[in-house]
Amino acid sequence: MSVIQLTVNGHQTQVEAPPMKRLLDVLREDLGLTGAKEGCGEGECGSCSVRMNGELVNSCLVPILQADGAHIQTVEGLAIDAELHPLQKAFLECGGAQCGICTPGMLMAATHLLVHNPHPTLEEIREGLAGNLCRCTGFIKIFDSVIAAAAMGGAKTHAR
Amino acid sequence: MSENTANCPPTRIVGTPQIRKEGVDKVLGRAKYTDDLEREGMWHGATVRSTIPRGRIRAIHYDPRIDWSEFVIVTADDVPGKNHIQMISADQPCLVETQVNHCDEPILLLAHLDKRRLPAAIAAIRIDYDPLPAVLSIEASETQQEIVWGSDNLFKHFHLEKGNVDDIWASAAHIVEGEYSTGAQEHLYIENNGMIAEYSEDTGITVWGSLQCPYYVHKSLMAVFDLPAEKVRVIQVETGGAFGGKEDYPSIIASHAGLLALKAKHPVKIVYDRMEDLAATTKRHPSRTRHRAAVDLHGKLLAMEIDIATDGGAYATLSSTVLSRATLHSTGPYVCPNIRITSRAWATNTVPYGAFRGFGAPQTIFAIERHMDRIALAVGISPDEIRRRNFLHSGDTTATEQRMNEPIILDTLLERALKESDYANKRKRFAAENPHSPIKRGLGLAAFYHGAGFTGSGERYLNSLAGIDVPPRNKVRVLVANTEFGQGTHTILCQIAAESLGLSYDDVEIAPCDTNIVPNSGPTVASRTSMVVGRLIERSGHQLIATLREHAGLADDYTAQGFFTACDRYRDQHGKVESLCRYEAPPNVFWDDQKYRGEAYPTFAWAVYVAEVAVDTVTYSAEVTNIYTVQEVGRVLNPTLAAGQIEGGVAQAVGYALYEKVQLKNGHMFNNQMTNYIMPTAADVPAIHAIFEEIPFAYGAYGAKGIGELPHDGPAPAILNAIQDATGENFHAIPLLPEDIFVRFFSHTPHQEPVTV
């Protein structure tokens, strides 16, 4: 067992876990943050995507030891208090979420994209989301959502 | 997207892009799927599966290095009721007793408090078999040398005759023959199958899970546990995609979780990982379709002889009904006086194939729509003209002698698709550019219908019941067993209820999908929910208003406040406010099961798709650059959700055509990972143009027909037709991967296969 320090969505926390336990499992089992999902367990589907120290990672591929001291942002940290993040608003209004299982990961990938590129072209959106699989939407309404969120100032992240 | 709503009466809520009911929970990441749920004292379950396609179990060895007393082990002997999964037939065991009939078949179940202990335990169980010869293809099953199911390996056989095919061949101007095949396809819902079960003497068995059809699971659990209906409770929780893949399989996993819960005396959760889900659960039926068509000098169809074979896998499951839909869609949307169709679903020793969006139709529509292009070549006319000359029109009859009484606007759809895709100009341009470019571009068409709702007498047998109630807190609840797994069921049904009650969308919510609360409104399959169940909700709404007017003083021009006050008044007098309606078949719709004749579907959705492709002759990859989809699906109830259905279905069908290959060895899928079973990504999907024409269907909710399956039917043939347009190569099998294109280009100097016999 290792003692791991984490800052998750702005809150400092400490967990005791085997060093090779996946970040995904720590988030879901130890911290009760079930937003990130396991779709494939091998870094292909992106439904476990979170941001770690500002990088987009597949949390199923990160041993928790590697995350010691890290700042983690998950879908649960996207909305500010009760107000939806522009990306969440756009996914809701444009139909970017259907079954919703890829949505948390997709939102994190989209957040990451807009942080680095506040007004991406369609081609840049396609490339930015290519690591996140959605089987329901054919991605079209997800592209629409990201474009709409960019127009709403979706690149702005909050204090956390 | 452009809409033509001129044919539709005005509505307030139906037809508008209302926000998905459960959408906020989904974007906040707080929607709870099966794997997100815990029960007090919950254990975890896992499945020990067969590693051979066919054989008898000789012995099971448990490695003594594991302390088995910590585990609960369930075998077929632990099944309190019937050891089978109750579908159309009762041939599939819940757990293998003695004989294994496919790889990855469940034999034993294990449970432990700590899920991390399970993989090592599974690996520590060795099963010895006496192998039996396995049948692993349609062709092997057809020889009937080895009988692996029933007396002849045949799950189902249909034979359909219209006119007299045999008299035509001698006088036809052209006879065109072709054989087409389609591969298996995995649903690849991003949420794997999962279920939690709990058992108590008092309440019986309760399951929470990822599923499409709560009452299918309910019926299966009653049989497996030998319990009365009231001792079985099925609750659907948020479900992360299904596409038909969670129609029948959840009955198995629910039974398994339940058996473990019963023996462990703890709640038990079983959640598959991706490799197990891919290897062990259902896929789309592989198929082979042979066409022989006679046409006159102008390309008018005189006779069609169609022979269909599907691979059903090891157990009957839904193969007979999939075959029926395949059969009834095999002629395409064309009129022909003489038709013979023979279709057979064969048993093999592979994981049973099951329901998948389109349910047999994509397989046979691929064949007919490829074949129509080959007929056009033989006659010497264009792909659009061959279709125009043969389209069904109102008053024509189909292969089953169904007279088409509804308006059919195929000509309009075709013209619109040609215009939207700039078909004529692009074809000219590509023909001029292709000889000088390593990238060959082309356009391909597909025209098709999709029968809405259950086939034949299906809806009469289902006899669905659905409705609404108003509990004492100023909200209307929609009472249906129909499930939300992304399509927008909840949203659509709430829109319909609000419309029919004269309330706002926010006044209506969906009741929990719990068999203790909702009536059996049938399965969520077959593009039936909006049309059939939605209609029951519409009627229930009107019925409730009439009741409140008569018995609770509801004013003619009531407000929401007035409505809920009237409900309170009525509840005080009668105890509850509830309005339920049962299915009534549209008049003049009758299907003869014995003769396989009549109105196969109460109505059809119609479409013409144009695919635009670019084939790279250096890398041999074929890319779809645009798909123009023009469809008539009755009334569009929610334009955002409708377009979402088309776009998602098209993307899935692009995968079916060009990416997704299920690779089997000894009947086991060995590319059972997302790493090597490849679906289209955000970087791969074409621009998808979704265009709707609307002709309301008199017996669907506010004019709705089916929509969900339609978009999976057309893209594959349109894409391969476009590839032929681009390269001159006639490909007749999907999935068509770059290596297949490479082999064709590399192994011969391109030649024209003879299309005329």
CA distance B485 to chain A (A): 5
Chain A interface mutation, best of B19, B20, B24, B28, highest count of A Cβ atoms under 10 Å: B28
CA B263/CA B128 separation, integer angstroms: 25
Task: Answer yes or no: do A42 and B673 touch at CB < 8 A.
Answer: yes
Of A91, A104, A138, the CB nearest to B650: A138
Q: Is A145 on the interface with B (CB under 8 A)?
A: no
Please state, for a pLDDT cut of 70, what percent of chain A lies above it.
97
Task: Answer yes or no: do A138 and B652 touch at CB < 8 A.
Answer: yes
Q: What is the pLDDT of residue A159?
A: 36
Residue B492, classified by CB atoms within 10 Å of its CB into exposed (0-12), middle (13-18) or buried (19+), is: buried
Q: Over 50: is that where the pLDDT of A58 sits? A: yes
Is the ipTM higher than 0.90? The answer is yes
Of A47, A94, A100, the CB nearest to B31: A100
CA distance A5 to chain B (A): 23
Q: Is B12 on the interface with A (CB under 8 A)?
A: no
CA distance B643 to chain A (A): 9
Q: Is B575 on the interface with A (CB under 8 A)?
A: no
Closest-CA residue of A relative to B487 is A98
Q: Is B649 on the interface with A (CB under 8 A)?
A: yes
Q: What is the pLDDT of residue B588?
A: 85
Give me the phi and psi of B746, to 5 degrees please. Answer: -85, -30
Among B35, B159, B102, residue whose Cα is nearest residue A60 = B35
Task: Answer yes or no: do B22 and A100 touch at CB < 8 A.
Answer: yes
pLDDT tens-digit profile of A99-133?
999 999 999 999 999 999 999 999 999 999 999 99
Q: Is B33 on the interface with A (CB under 8 A)?
A: yes
Q: What is the pLDDT of residue B7?
A: 76
Q: Is B28 on the interface with A (CB under 8 A)?
A: yes
Please list every residue in chain A whose beta carbon sits closer than 8 Å to the beta carbon of residue B488: 98
CA distance A85 to chain B (A): 9
Q: Is B580 on the interface with A (CB under 8 A)?
A: no
CA distance A40 to chain B (A): 5
Task: Answer yes or no: do B26 and A103 touch at CB < 8 A.
Answer: yes
All residues at 6 or more sequence positions from B654 whose CB lies less than 8 Å from its CB, including other chains: B624, B627, B680, B684, B685, B686, B715, B719
Q: Is A75 on the interface with B (CB under 8 A)?
A: yes
Of A34, A36, A99, the CB nearest to B486: A99
pLDDT tens-digit profile of B512-541?
999 999 999 999 999 999 999 999 999 999
CA distance B435 to chain A (A): 28
For chain B, the maximum distance between any two Cα atoms, rounded to a whole number of angstroms, is: 84
CA B412/CA B423 separation, integer angstroms: 15
Look at phi and psi of residue B517 and say left if phi exceeds 0, alpha if psi is from -120 to 50, else beta. alpha
Q: Is A98 on the interface with B (CB under 8 A)?
A: yes
Q: What is the pLDDT of residue B5?
A: 61
Task: Answer yes or no: do B274 and A39 touch at CB < 8 A.
Answer: yes
Please list every residue in chain B whose beta carbon sits closer than 8 Å to the beta carbon of residue A42: 274, 673-675
**Sheet with B154-162: strands ordered across:** B154-162, B338-347, B301-313, B287-295, B174-182, B733-734
Q: Is B683 on the interface with A (CB under 8 A)?
A: yes
Q: Is A44 on the interface with B (CB under 8 A)?
A: yes
Partners of residue A15 on adjacent β-strands: A4
Task: Answer yes or no: do B243 and A102 touch at CB < 8 A.
Answer: no
Residue B246, classified by CB atoms within 10 Å of its CB into exposed (0-12), middle (13-18) or buried (19+), is: buried
DSSP label of B530: I
Please list every residue in chain A whose beta carbon sits closer than 8 Å to the beta carbon of residue B681: 130-131, 133, 139
pLDDT tens-digit profile of B270-305?
999 999 999 999 999 999 999 999 999 999 999 999
Q: What is the pLDDT of residue A155?
A: 73
Please list every residue in chain B whose beta carbon sits closer than 8 Å to the beta carbon of residue A132: 682
Helix ranges restricted to H, B434-553:
458-462, 489-501, 534-551
Residues 46-65 of A with CB under 8 A from B: 47
Task: Answer yes or no: do B27 and A138 touch at CB < 8 A.
Answer: no
Beta strands in B505-621 (DSSP E): 508-510, 578-582, 591-592, 597-598, 604-616
Task: Answer yes or no: do A92 and B647 touch at CB < 8 A.
Answer: no
Partners of residue B524 on adjacent β-strands: none
CA distance B417 to chain A (A): 20
Q: What is the pLDDT of residue A82?
A: 76
Which residue positions in chain B have pLDDT lower than 50? 1-3, 757
Q: Which two tokens stand for residue A158?
A: 């909050």
Q: Is A40 on the interface with B (CB under 8 A)?
A: yes
DSSP label of B5: -
CA B281/CA B104 separation, integer angstroms: 9
CA B168/CA B390 separation, integer angstroms: 17
DSSP label of B164: -
CA distance B717 to chain A (A): 18
pLDDT tier at A25 (50, 70, 90 boundaries)? very high
Please list every residue in chain A whose beta carbon sits closer than 8 Å to the beta carbon of residue B675: 42, 44
Contact assessment for residue B178 and residue B291, using Cβ atoms and an 8 Å cutoff: yes
Of A98, A107, A130, the CB nearest to B681: A130
CA distance A68 to chain B (A): 23
CA distance B31 to chain A (A): 8
Q: Distances from the Cα of B365 to the Cαs of A4, B328, B392, B607, B646, in angstroms?
A: 57, 10, 15, 12, 17
